[in-house]
Amino acid sequence: MTEAVENPKVRERLAESTRELDEGFRAAFSAAQARGELGEDADPRALGMLASALVHTLALRARAGQPRAALREVADSAVKLIFSSGSAARKRRRGAEKRRNCS
């Protein structure tokens, strides 16, 4: 990665790789949203970038020697955060629907 600062070819390959990872996650989050596994208000593009950032931080932390348990904690926390996206809005909508159906 430090090579990317000085070498334009390395920088472009790194940028391309990052875009591909972002896009792969974006597509996965869009599919999860379509299946109802992710809130309607969630932003698949933003979540994709967040997931990519998680992959990078895990790699960096692993190289720095952090124990597997610490890496697992970071990953688990991120997954909970990502998949809670839009859940408050989803709960509000369900509550409103229940109130309308009970009226």
Encode the chain (103 residues) as per-residue pLDDT tens digits: 678 888 899 999 999 999 999 999 999 999 999 999 888 889 999 999 999 999 999 999 999 999 999 999 999 999 998 888 655 455 555 555 666 666 5
Residue 99 has what pLDDT?
60
Whether 53 and 18 have beta carbons less than 8 Å apart is answered as no
Residues 6+ apart with CB under 8 A from 25: 47, 48, 49, 51, 52
Residue 91 has what pLDDT?
56
Record the pTM.
0.72
Residue 83 has what pLDDT?
80
**Residue 89: alpha-carbon gap to chain centroid:** 18
Residue 1 has what pLDDT?
65
**Residue 77: alpha-carbon gap to chain centroid:** 11
Q: How many domains does the chain have?
A: 1
Which element (helix H / strand E) includes 95? helix 87-102
Distance CA 5, CA 53 (A): 19
Domain that holds residue 52: 3-102
